[in-house]
Amino acid sequence: MKLFVFGTLKRGFALHEKGLIGATYLGRYRTGQPYPMVIAGQWYAPMMINRPGDGMRVWGELYEVEADRFAILDALESVGNPGNFRIAIDVVPDAGGSSIRAIVYMKAAELAVPLHSQPLAEFLDRRFVPQWEQ
């Protein structure tokens, strides 16, 4: 399955090794339509809000992920808790070309409290600290 990541699951960020070990990197992509992606919450987490058409087209990375890996990813992304979603969206390669359908993790707007940024096109912030390191 294809997975689009835009925040702490990207290479070099806090959750990459825990969530995407063994996944195949397919390249740099961006969302086909705008979404509000912000830094929010007590851990300064990147959150893409499930409001298509608002915000900016968000840059990230696309991976091919084995289906059984989603149990680990869902736990890291709090899927199953209110306001945490796994959604299919269209993403477009950096080099241009056709869009691809991919899974992305999103949040409900009410989880983005406190808000630490305006909508961003790319997550580069290094303030996020995983819960197990606090």
Q: Which active-site residues does the annotation give?
A: 77
Q: Where are the alpha helices (DSSP H) in the chain?
A: 16-20, 70-76
Q: How far apart are CA 121 and CA 94, in angstroms?
A: 13
Q: Which residues of 4-41 are buried (b: 16+ CB within 10 A; e: fewer)?
A: bbbbbbbeebbbbeebbeebeebeebbbbbbbbbbbbb
Tokens of 12: 């070099």
